[in-house]
Amino acid sequence: MDERRLTDTECALYGTKSCALLNMPDCEKCPLKGRIADPAIHDDLRLFCNLQPEGSIAQLFESETCTLCKEEPKGKPSCFAVFDMAHTEPKKLATRKWLSKNETGFMVPLQFACCSKCRRRILLSSYLPLITPIVLLLITLPLVLPEHMAQGLRKVAMWLPLAIVAFAIIGGYAIGKVLSVLYRRKCESSMYVDVRTHPFVDAMTEKGWRPLFNDRQAHIAFTKKRIDKGLGSAPGTVYEMPDWKENGAENEISD
């Protein structure tokens, strides 16, 4: 059932829920390899479970339908939209102060199962401010570059050719921004074009999680294959495993 290659039977985490939650493919690649067994690791990971909204983070990547579609029928997932969130707890993990103003404890990738239509819409809305100036430049450059055309324009005003190019770039960017906002509004009725408005992100926020990067636009990365190792990548069944010390054996659980 467990395809991970767990070879280090001496490890304090071997066979525990903590190990399953860390979800490393093999003991050699585990970041905790060779570290002195620290019982606090179990406390940290228990806290991580308690900071999960109902159903756990795994429901996003285990969903058989697109998690960003709002309307039925929802699309078939073809990729994952990855959005990173961070928590200020636990404090002792706070080693990445450069990432945010607050000290960062846990960091997890939310991996939204995403259909090709939702992916296309998110990409188009974010690239419109770049696409529009390029299109305008392609239209205006043939009017400005040929010498006879430029001469004609300079007769009207010396600065006119330059002004046309400047408008194509600056105006194009501004027009692209407006188009992007309008396009997002159009898409919002049928999908979560801004993942930060997704109910699961709301549920995470209620548990104290925040977007890792607090920018005006959500940082989304798309990936064909989901992130399948590290904290937050374990299957949903792992969260339902009995707790570390509940079945009598200290830090150990049976299968």
The pairs formed by 64-67 with CB atoms below 8 angstroms and a separation of 24 or more are 64/113, 65/113, 66/113, 66/114, 66/115, 66/117, 66/118, 67/112, 67/113, 67/114, 67/198, 67/200
Binding mask 99-138 for Zn ion (x = CB under 5 A): ----------------x--x--------------------
Q: Cα dihedral sign for 243, 249, 250, 253?
A: negative
Segment near Zn ion (CB under 5 A); pick from 62-70, 139-147, 155-163, 228-236 = 62-70
> What 3-state DSSP class applies to 86?
strand
> What 3-state DSSP class applies to 156?
helix
Could you tell me the smallest distance in angstroms from the CB atom of residue 223 to Zn ion?
16
Residue 60 identity = L
Could you tell me the smallest distance in angstroms from the CB atom of residue 76 to Zn ion?
9
Could you tell me the smallest distance in angstroms from the CB atom of residue 221 to Zn ion?
17
Between 5 and 120, name the residue whose CB sits nearer to Zn ion. 120
Does the protein bind Zn ion through residue 41 (CB under 5 A)? no
Q: Identify each DSSP E strand in the chain by its residue range.
A: 79-86, 107-114, 210-211, 221-223
Segment near Zn ion (CB under 5 A); pick from 9-17, 58-66, 103-111, 173-181 = 58-66
Q: Which two tokens stand for residue 158?
A: 């010396």
Segment near Zn ion (CB under 5 A); pick from 50-58, 60-68, 140-148, 156-164 = 60-68
Does the protein bind Zn ion through residue 77 (CB under 5 A)? no
Does the protein bind Zn ion through residue 69 (CB under 5 A)? yes
What's the rounded Cα separation, in Å, for the pair 93 and 44? 9
Q: Which residues bind Zn ion (CB under 5 A)?
A: 66, 68-69, 75, 115, 118
